[in-house]
Structure formats: structure tokens, C-alpha cells
Amino acid sequence: MPRKSIYFDHLNKKWTSRHRRLQKQLFKSHKESFDWFLDNSRQFALGTLAGIFLLTSPAVTQVPVAFSSSQSAQPAQTIDKRVFLVYDLKHLLPQEVQPLTTEQEKAVSEVLTRDFGFSVVSELDGKKLNRAYGLIGQEQHLKRFPGDTMYTHFESPQNANEYWKYGMAQGLGAYGYFAKSESAMTKTDIQREKYYIAVQTFLAPGFNNDPKAYNEFFKYRKMLVVNPQNGKAIVADIADAGPAQWTGKQLGGSPEVMRYLGRYDGAQRGPVLYFFIDDPNDTIPLGPVNNL
């Protein structure tokens, strides 16, 4: 046997012996999480369960690796770290989709800020929405400028093919057109309509005391929207008000937002977290967040 293989086997046996007790304790104390992973692994681009164990070990920084020199070389597998976000949120959120307590909002805010690397809060400049956790439903495309139609709306034939079926709302969003004309429309205007959400701004605490100030605050305000069931997150802006309370939904998403979050056909409405992003210098772009 080659000297390197003998040395590897020696280190492997030594590591296994040293950490066997730690491994047993880990599986015992986190049994619920591992069981959840086994039941839901198809939602994630994950490696092996052993890979998750390696990732949680402070002695290992890269995963996965071969466990024995007798194993044939295999391509490196990567672990989708969204699974850990899902674990964290699962233990913070109530079983029913309902308003979060102040303590729950704070805990969720800390997790999202930590994982995504920018400030995520439930209250900003003394203002907050009536909910930070609710059911999202399908919205239609919004007119971006006077004369915008389904024929002028899409950037490419492929884009039109994917999103044509959702249609265009007859009325305007809560803040009117995104641009004065097609020629005046900027990339920012396009992104704002593409990644918009509608939230119940009219139910925000204090809204009726000063609707003008609240509308100015909410207009195109950036929010982080997270599907807690798959860990997908997107930076969206508030561009419409709604839905009505009788719908049973607390917010709506553009076709692009819904598809990315995995709520893409309308019937699959489901829970999402939606928190303000504290971005005074406007450095965080709209769109999917892929830094996990």
C-alpha cells in the first residue's frame, strides 16, 4: 500500500476514534433536524448526511471528502446552506401563519441579518407593517409607463413565453406609473416592476394618522422576502397596496417574485417572511439573493 494511503488511513482512524463520542452526541441532540433533512432533502441541492455532519464540525472547513482510501474518487459535492436557514426559521416561527410577537420578529431579524449579510429589520424609521409573516398570493404585471401593454412589456421572447400567462393588471399600482414614458424608463424602473410586492400598507400601525408620510415611506421601499420552507430569498420593493383583508392573504408578489420563491402558480400560495432592508445608500440590488 502506498505510504500516503497508509498515512491517510491512520489519520482517518484516529479522527474517527476521537470524534465518535461527539458524533453520537450530535445525532442524539439534533435528531429532529436530521430526521427533517431526510424527509425534505429533495428540496435542496445537498450532498450526503455525512457532509452535513462535516460542515458542523469546527475542524472541517471544506466538504465533502472521502472517508476511506478504498473509496473511488468522486466529484466534490456541495451543500446548499439554505437548509440551515430553514432549520433556524423552523424553530423560530409559529406552526400557524400568524402575526409574530416582538420577540419572534427580533429573533428572525437577527437570523436573516446574520445569514444574508445586510441589515434586515421589522421596523424602520419608526414605521412597520401590520405583519412580517403572512400568506403571499399571485399578482399580475403592472403598467410601467403610459401605453405599456403585454406586447411592450417583456425584454425578450423567452421572457414573454415564461410570464405572458399572468396578464397585466387593468389599473395602476399604488404609486402610479414607474416612468413617464417608454423612452424615459430606466433600468431601475424595469427592476422595480419586475420584483415588486403588494403589501397591506393601509393596515400599518399609525397609517391613518398621516397617510401621506406613510405612503412616501412605503413607496418602492426595499424588503427581503423569504420562503421559510425552502430558504429562497429575494429583494423586492413595495409598488402596490393590497390585497384586501377578505382574501385571507397578507401580500402579493409579481410573477417573477412568485416563481423564484416557489409560489409561482398562484394556487400554491404559502407563507413568506417580509422584512425591511436598511439600505440608506441604495447598495443592495433588487432580485434573487444568492449569497448563501
Summarize pLDDT for 14-71 with one digit per residue, the tens: 545 554 555 555 455 555 555 555 555 545 444 434 444 444 444 333 334 344 444 4
Domains of the chain: 3-80 (no CATH), 85-288 (2.40.40.10)
Predicted confidence (pLDDT) per residue in 96-129, tens digit:
999 999 999 999 999 999 999 999 999 999 999 9
Instruction: Indicate the pLDDT class of residue 263, thresholds 50, 70 and 90.
Output: confident
Question: What's the whole-model pTM score?
Answer: 0.77
CB of 191 closer than 8 Å to CB of 287: yes
- pLDDT tens string 126-185: 999 999 999 999 999 999 999 999 999 999 999 999 999 999 999 999 999 999 999 999
Distance CA 252, CA 174 (A): 13
Buried b (16+ CB within 10 A) or exposed e, 215-248: eebbbebbbbbbbbbbbbbbbbbbbbbbbeeeee
Backbone angles phi, psi at 133, to 5 degrees: -145, 120
At position 196, the amino acid (one-letter code) is Y
Judged by DSSP in three states, 236 sits in strand
